[in-house]
Chains A and B, each alone.
Chain A
Amino acid sequence: MSDTERDAWLREALRHAPDANAAPPSDLSESILAQARVAARGGGAAAPGARHRNPVLAVWDWLARPPVAAGFASVMVATLVGLMWWDQPIDETRPPRPEVARQDARPADVDRASPYVERVPPAAPANNTDVGEERPPAATVPAAPRVPGGGATAPVPQVEQERSKDTMSRDDRAPASAKLQMPQAATPPPPPYRATTEAKEPQRKREAADGSARTDRAAPKPSPFARSDDERAAVAAATPAKKMDSDANEGKASERATGSAAADALAAGDAPLAKSKSAAAAPTAPAEALRAEPPAAFAGRRANEVAQTAPTANAESETARRSRAAGAVTQAPPTPSAAPAVPVLRDSASAELREKQASAFGSSRTAQPQSDLASAQRQGAVAAPLAPIVAAIASDPSRWSRSTAAGSVVALEPGWRDWLAQLEAAARGRWQQVVDAAGRERDGASTLRLVDGGRTAAVVRLDGTNVRVDTIDRGERWQATLPPAVAERLRAAAEDLGR
């Protein structure tokens, strides 16, 4: 018997199986047919294949496939992310700010003015003692050149004066317009490594001013001042100091790299002095002008020097100081044409001195907060002792705080900053330096102790119509008498802020 015959029997058995006549239940059939009718009424108008004949629908069907849809979604996400980051360079790759770019535009000056700075160890600690040893005390040696707009004086290192004269000769060759815009352009440009630092520093401070400061800062979020006219005037009073500092920065001032730009300019002669004075009368400089900071260690050293020399130097006349500066440490003639002295100075500058100065210039930035205040105070203390403080606070509010009567230190509120600005505006032109010790504080006097970087920097006291400012760094005391109405208004405001 073949398999074919057996298979016929199997089929016959299958045909007589019990379920051979099985059929779906009628209700099930009705349900299926009902759904089929509904589907035919709903979407049966299109002929089969019509969607594929329509290219748009065909593309849509193709996109509806899961693999294609997933791939398309991935491409879309990648495109979106790419667009979000389009033309957004990383912070480190951002181009320098315009002033930095201008500094970089004179690489020859940089190389010539500070040939040794690039050899400075970047993290060398500040050593004020070493630098101070290079200079005789202010009481025993001829005073150093005085800052044109400020009461502080500072001895000038030989190398600085050498560079000052060097750059003076360049500045004399510069166009007059350039001189007006850059009154202290006689100072040498900062070293290249400062340019990168400055490129980041304004950005950091701008972020702080925009309220994006880190939350771990104790200071409140800085906010743009909505200044009144008086407040703008107060800030304008601080402008000369800002402008000078700014010009010092823009003109590659040696204040950052080598020392006081103003002192250099004075040591070089009258021309820079005139420029500095014109700078003091110049319009308000941008707030970013103060944000460029000198090297920390050198600034700290400068602050100490200012504190040591200020009491005696302030009593001297400008001419006497200038002449003494010319004949003091460097013995350099006060005119820009003193070029013959340069080789002598170079020869006389010992390698040891250069090393010490280099280590001071390349110090760490731990003393940077003090440098801001010291720089600002140095240049604005003569006419307005509060102006540099207000300017320094405005440049970096988060660094400043105040000491309460209970002894605790709290962040300096924006209200106090505005109050200081108003006080400075009201007392402008009324300041007189006092030599007596701090007076006893009477009841009802409003006292504001300003703390900079954890250290008390200044004490502002409004007692009746008298306002008194004690700058701790320099040991100076200034006093002004305000109009009674203004004094009363400020006192009331201080009381409100102190609550």
Chain B
Amino acid sequence: MATPDPSDDALMKAYAAGDAAAFEQLYRRHQAALYRFVRRLLGTALAAQTDEVFQDTWLRVVHARQRWEPQGATFRTWLFTLAHHRVIDVLRRSGREISSDAIEAAGEGDEPWQPDAAAWQHWPAPAGAAPQGDELAFWRRAGEKLLDCLEQLPLPQRSAFLLHHDDGLTLDEVARALEVGFETAKTRLRYAMSKLRTCMGAYLEPVHR
């Protein structure tokens, strides 16, 4: 009977105590998701900065190993928080950041446009584990379109969507990672989903026709 993998917190404590292997295990566990999160958060325009942000995030983990304490948040949440901060720094340097308050204020109370429900009927069932043939090609195109739609979202909404739907964080963890309130995180996620539905519904319209 194999021993269960140690938790992130235990690995981090072991690494803080000098166990380099614990860090390697942590790295392998989160490196892909973090790299993807950073890349999608930066978008295609700043994709070249992905490696820099990714490396800097992990180095921050290395340097903060002595001070780190799991004060209610998981290591994964803390890791994505660090990455999010670094992305904000890069966006600020590039002048691409848009005030989250302005975006949310503009969309507050306005129900985003919803595509016709019939358009979604033509999508293949998402439950397929290993789509083949045309179905796979469809999802790949859908994925490309989704990335395009994702780049149109403001950073706060994009972050909330990625953390929740891509990295699997709960809403509470999303709120912790983004350092906002639960309702704020929920609102951001709701607006992000609404905009993505609209964006993807427009993509589906030609197919529907």
Q: Is A436 an interface residue (CB 8 A)?
A: no
Report the nearest A residue to B150, measured CB to CB. A14
Q: Decide yes or no whether A8 CB sits under 8 A from chain B.
A: yes
Q: Is B117 at the interface (CB under 8 A from chain A)? A: yes
Known: A1-B121, A44-B17, A51-B66. A14 touches B165 (CB 8 A): yes
Q: How far is the CB of A76 from chain B (nearest CB, A)?
A: 26
Please tell me if the beta carbons of B62 and A39 are within 8 angstroms of each other in the complex: yes
Check B142 against A41 for contact (C-beta < 8 Å). no
B68 on the A face (CB < 8 A)? yes
Q: Chain B 139-164 against A: per-residue CB contact (8 Å), 1 yes, 0 no? A: 11011111100000000000000000
Give chain A nearest CB distance to B185 CB in angstroms. 16
Q: Which parts of A7-49 form the interface with B (CB within 8 Å)?
A: 7-20, 22-25, 28-29, 31-33, 35-37, 39-41, 43-49
Q: Please report which residues of chain B, range 1-54, place their CB below 8 angstroms from some CB of chain A when the two chains form the complex.
A: 12-13, 15-20, 23-24, 27, 31-32, 35-36, 39-40, 51, 54
Return chain B residues, CB-CB under 8 Å to A37.
20, 23
Cβ-defined contact, A17 with B31, below 8 A: no
CB < 8 Å neighbour of A19 from B18, B20, B136, B147: B147
A5 proximal to B (CB < 8 A) = yes
Q: How far is the CA of A17 from the CA of B15 in the complex (A)?
A: 34
Contact of A10 among B15, B54, B196 (CB under 8 A): B196
Cβ of A29 and Cβ of B27 under 8 Å apart?
A: yes
User: Are the CB atoms of B68 and A48 closer together than 8 Å?
Assistant: yes
A3 at interface (Cβ–Cβ under 8 A)? yes
**Contact A10 B193, beta carbon cutoff 8 Å:** yes
- Does B58 sit at the interface, judged by CB under 8 A? yes
Assess whether B123 is in contact with A35, with CB atoms less than 8 Å apart.
no
CB-based contact A24/B69 at 8 Å: no
Bound state CA distance, A49 and B69, in angstroms? Answer: 8
In the complex, A39→B127 CA distance in Å?
A: 44
B55 touches A41 (CB 8 A): no
Residue in A16, A24, A35 whose beta carbon sits within 8 Å of that of B140 in the complex = A16
Cα–Cα distance between A47 and B31 once the two chains are bound (Å): 25
- Tell me which of B54, B120, B143 contacts A5 (CB under 8 A): B120
Cβ of B82 under 8 Å from chain A: no
A40, B23: Cβ atoms closer than 8 Å: yes
Residue B166, interface by CB 8 Å: yes
How far, in angstroms, from A17 to B148 measured CA to CA in the complex? 10
Interface size of B in residues (CB-CB distance below 8 Å): 51
Q: Does B59 have its Cβ within 8 Å of any Cβ on chain A?
A: yes
Residues 268-287 of chain A, each 1 if its beta carbon lies under 8 Å from chain B, else 0: 00000000000000000000
Q: Determine if A41 and B66 form an interchain contact, defined as CB atoms under 8 angstroms apart.
A: no
| Residues in A whose Cβ lies below 8 Å from that of B15 | 36, 40, 44
Given the complex, which residues of A lie within 8 Å of B35, measured CB to CB? 22-24
Q: Which of A3, A15, A40, A51 is the one whose CB lies under 8 Å from B19?
A: A40
B209 in the interface, Cβ–Cβ < 8 Å? no
Whether the Cβ atoms of B31 and A1 lie closer than 8 Å is no
With a cutoff of 8 Å between Cβ atoms, the chain A residues found around residue B197 in the complex are 3, 6, 10
B63 part of interface (Cβ distance < 8 Å):
yes
Residues of A with C-beta under 8 A to B32: 22-24
- Known interface pairs A24-B31, A28-B51, A47-B17; A9-B123 also in contact (CB < 8 Å): yes
Are B139 and A46 within 8 A (Cβ)?
Answer: no
Contacts A32-B59, A40-B23 hold; do A10 and B147 have CB atoms under 8 A apart? Answer: no
Q: Is B200 interfacial (CB-CB < 8 Å)?
A: yes
Interface majority SS on A: helix, strand, loop or mixed?
A: helix
B149 to chain A, nearest CB (A): 9
B161 CB → nearest A CB, Å: 9
Interface centre among A17, A23, A31, A47 (most CB of B within 10 A): A17
Do A3 and B193 have beta carbons less than 8 Å apart? yes
CB-CB under 8 A from B193, the residues of chain A are 3, 6-7, 10
CB distance from B166 to the nearest CB of A (A): 6
Question: In the complex, A9 Cα to B145 Cα: how many Å?
Answer: 13
A22 touches B39 (CB 8 A): yes
CA distance A407 to B40 in the complex (A): 94
Min CB distance B171 to A, Å, is 13
Given contacts A44-B16, A48-B17, A48-B69, contact A13 B143 (CB under 8 A): yes
Q: Digitize B51-91: 1 where CB-to-A-CB distance is under 8 Å, 0 elsewhere.
A: 10011001100110110110000000000000000000000
Partner of A14, one of B19, B20, B23, B146: B146
Bound form: Cα–Cα A41–B15 in Å: 10
Cα(A18)–Cα(B68), bound, Å: 35
Please pick, from B51, B63, B120, B140, the residue contacting A39 in the complex, using a CB distance under 8 A. Answer: B63
Contact present for A32 and B143 (CB under 8 Å): no
User: Of B36, B40, B58, B139, which is within 8 A of A36 by CB?
Assistant: B58
> Which of A6, A11, A18, A48 is the one whose CB lies under 8 Å from B16?
A48
Q: Which residues of A contact B131 (CB under 8 A)?
A: 16
Residues of B close to A9: CB separation below 8 A? 120, 123, 126, 142, 200
C-alpha gap A31/B166 in the complex (Å)? 26
How many angstroms between the C-alpha atoms of A279 and B27 in the bound complex?
A: 100
Q: Is the CB of A13 within 8 A of B120?
A: no
How would residues 187 to 206 of chain B score, 1 for a CB under 8 Å from any chain A CB and 0 otherwise? 00000010011001000000
B114-133: which residues lie under 8 A (CB-CB) from chain A?
Answer: 117, 120-121, 123, 126-128, 131
Which A residues form the contact surface with B (CB < 8 A)?
Answer: 1, 3, 5-20, 22-25, 28-29, 31-33, 35-37, 39-41, 43-49, 51
7 interchain residue pairs of minimum CB distance: A44-B18, A17-B143, A12-B126, A13-B142, A16-B139, A48-B16, A40-B20
23 contacts between A and B (CB under 8 A): A1-B117, A6-B193, A7-B165, A9-B120, A9-B123, A10-B146, A10-B200, A13-B143, A13-B145, A14-B146, A15-B143, A16-B139, A23-B35, A24-B51, A24-B54, A36-B20, A37-B20, A37-B23, A39-B62, A40-B18, A41-B18, A44-B19, A45-B18
Give 6 A-B pairs besides A11-B126, A18-B144 with Cβ atoms closer than 8 angstroms: A10-B196, A13-B200, A24-B51, A37-B23, A44-B15, A48-B69
